Amino acid sequence: MGPASASRPFSNTLNPQTRLALERGIDLKNLPHHIALIMDGNGRWAQERGLPRVAGHKAGVDALRETITTCVRLGIEYLSAYAFSTENWGRPQEEVDYLMHLFAKTLIAELPLFKQENVRIAFLGDIEALPQKTRDIFHKGLSETSSHTGMVLALAVNYGARAEIARAARLIAQATADKKIRTDEIDAHLFSHYLYTAGMPDPELLIRTSGEMRLSNFLLFQLAYAELFLCDTYWPDFSCETLLDAIFSFQGRHRRFGKIEEGVHEC
Ligand code: IPE
Ligand code: IPE
Ligand code: MG
């Protein structure tokens, strides 16, 4: 049983998000355990309003807070959110600096919410390479939520899937050289234990906002069989309703995992 299962609501204690989910025909017993999010379109959201790009990043924080709260209320066990890629260092220095400051400020501001909602924070990516202040606050967030048993919020910061896979290969090579594992033990399952997501189930649902139809180096190993939900909404406009649309769409998919539908045997 996953960590958030115990907080799954019962019909006599329905919260507004769960009530809305039921009204929309969502089956609360068939929710994804892990949702991955590519929060994209902040810059365009701001530019359309004649604002600087960073105003979009600031507005995006509200959308993430609403998404976290909805996921907690529904009883989602893991939420992974792509906040900063290894490629995003190539943006103008002022934007990078603003984002690093925003991440630190937001984590401090949202810690009471994480405590209230029993959310445990995890990071995907190399956070040791972040500026000192951001890094210190991230470590504070990790230690202050480490005993929480509710939803895991995995923030992908300085994350790139290719770097993650190369790192896993390096760690496995070292473990092999140290005779901790044998080469014939190395398979996809063992490999997954050396990724940043070790211990987490693979996401069943990936949501990307802003109309882009690519993975942009996000969880390339883990998303092998995820269902994709791509919407035109810019991230700051993403709401509880859009999340429920994504879950409803997910529940209508036929996940075959390379096999054929049950009961279909004719060739
Ligand atoms: C996503 O929004 C946030 C980050 C990558 C940090 P963007 O900043 O990529 O917004 P667009 O895609 O340029 O509109
Ligand atoms: C992906 O968005 C990274 C994050 C959302 C943090 P980008 O805006 O960086 O991706 P591309 O450049 O459109 O592929
Ligand atoms: Mg973008």
Q: pLDDT at position 12, please?
A: 59
Whether the CB of 40 sits within 6 Å of ligand 2: yes
CB 152 within 8 A of CB 113: no
Question: pTM score > 0.75 for this model?
Answer: yes
CB 60 within 8 A of CB 232: no
Residue nearest to atom 1 of ligand 1 (CA): 40
Residue nearest to atom 11 of ligand 2 (CA): 216
Whether the CB of 176 sits within 6 Å of ligand 2: no
Total Cβ atoms within 10 A of residue 142: 15
Structure tokens at 18: 């769960």
Clarify whether 217 is annotated catalytic.
Answer: no
Clarify whether 88 is annotated catalytic.
Answer: yes
Residue nearest to atom 12 of ligand 1 (CA): 41
- Give dist(CA 215, CA 13) in Å, integer: 38
Residue nearest to atom 3 of ligand 1 (CA): 40
| Å from CA of 42 to ligand 1 middle | 5
In angstroms, how far apart are the furthest CA atoms of the chain? 62
Whether the CB of 135 sits within 6 Å of ligand 1: no
> pLDDT tens string for the chain (267 positions)?
344 444 454 555 799 999 999 999 999 999 999 999 999 999 999 999 999 999 999 999 999 999 999 999 999 999 999 999 999 999 999 999 999 999 999 999 999 999 999 999 999 999 999 999 999 999 999 999 999 999 999 999 999 999 999 999 999 999 999 999 999 999 999 999 999 999 999 999 999 999 999 999 999 999 999 999 999 999 999 999 999 999 999 999 999 999 997 777 776
Whether the CB of 211 sits within 6 Å of ligand 2: no
| Å from CA of 127 to ligand 2 middle | 18
| Å from CA of 38 to ligand 2 middle | 8
Whether the CB of 58 sits within 6 Å of ligand 1: no
Burial class (CB in 10 A: 0-12, 13-18, 19+), 45: buried
Q: DSSP character for 15?
A: -
DSSP H or E segment with residue 80: strand 78-85
